[in-house]
Amino acid sequence: MSRQAIVTNSNMYKVELVIVEEGMYGEYIPLFYEMQEGDWLIFDDVHTANLMLKPRWVDDEWIETATTEELEEWQASLMEGIPEVQEGASLSDVIDFKTGLMEGFHGH
């Protein structure tokens, strides 16, 4: 059975979203990703981590570590090329829009 997980580095910052499969001995094996020393797999709240620019796993939850300036630049880059996004749209509006496009693309 496969499922999604987030790979974090030794400092618990998100490195990659991966699909993992359970191995013969109950271990989880990421597909198309080679784990590095100090990497961890986090299965909790994967969706939240993917909505953040620089997520870090702290005390069993994802926190955003990007600065306000980094978030503003990220928001501007997300809005580029989306004529449907109106001026004044929030970051969550843009992310929801792009997520909807991706889900439609993958046939979900």
State phi, psi for 18 to the nearest 5 degrees: -135, 160
Query: Does 104 score more than 80 pLDDT?
Result: no
Q: How far apart are CA 84 and CA 77, in angstroms?
A: 15
* pLDDT for 105: 45
SS3 of 97, please?
helix
Alpha helices, DSSP H, located in 36-90: 46-50, 68-79
Q: How does the average pLDDT of the chain come out, rounded? A: 85
Residue 99: band (very low, low, confident or very high) from pLDDT cuts 50, 70, 90: low
pLDDT value of position 78: 79
The pLDDT tens digits for 45-96 are 999 999 999 999 999 999 999 999 999 999 888 777 665 655 666 667 766 6
pTM: 0.71
